[in-house]
């Protein structure tokens, strides 16, 4: 899947940069056991233009405090 210009421009920027208007919020990735979440690793976003997944990483993410592009979150349902 080819990323759109807006997604390419956001990858590598500080995570404090706001998401593009075409990104739909889709959840957060956390660390810890159920009921005792200790860290938010990143917020996940799905691009409504190109379909790619972007992650707004916290200081505990990889790469830390940066926007990154990656695979679909494993807990996100497939489109029907």
Report the SS3 class of residue 79.
Answer: coil
* Number of C-beta neighbours around residue 54 at 10 A: 24
Q: Which distant-in-sequence residues (6+ apart) come within 8 Å of 18 by Cβ?
A: none
Residue 46 structural domain: 5-70
Cα–Cα distance measured from residue 70 to residue 51, given in angstroms and rounded to the nearest whole number: 11
The answer as to whether 37 is a domain residue is yes
Looking at residue 2, what is its pLDDT? 92
Per-residue pLDDT of 11-65, as tens digits, reads: 999 999 999 999 999 888 777 666 665 677 889 999 999 999 999 998 888 899 9
Domain count, the chain: 1
The answer to whether residue 53 is domain-embedded is yes
CA distance 77 to 6: 24
Beta bridge partners of 46: 24, 53
For residue 13, count other CB atoms closer than 10 A to its CB: 12
User: Is residue 80 included in any domain, yes or no?
Assistant: no
């Amino acid at each position: 899947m080819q990323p759109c210009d807006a997604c390419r421009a956001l990858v590598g920027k500080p995570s404090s940069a706001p998401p593009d208007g075409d990104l739909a919020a889709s959840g957060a990735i956390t660390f810890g056991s159920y009921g005792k979440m200790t860290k938010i690793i990143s917020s996940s976003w799905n691009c409504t233009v190109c379909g790619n997944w972007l992650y707004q990483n916290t200081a505990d993410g990889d790469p830390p405090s940066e926007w990154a592009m990656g695979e679909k979150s494993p807990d996100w349902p497939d489109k029907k």
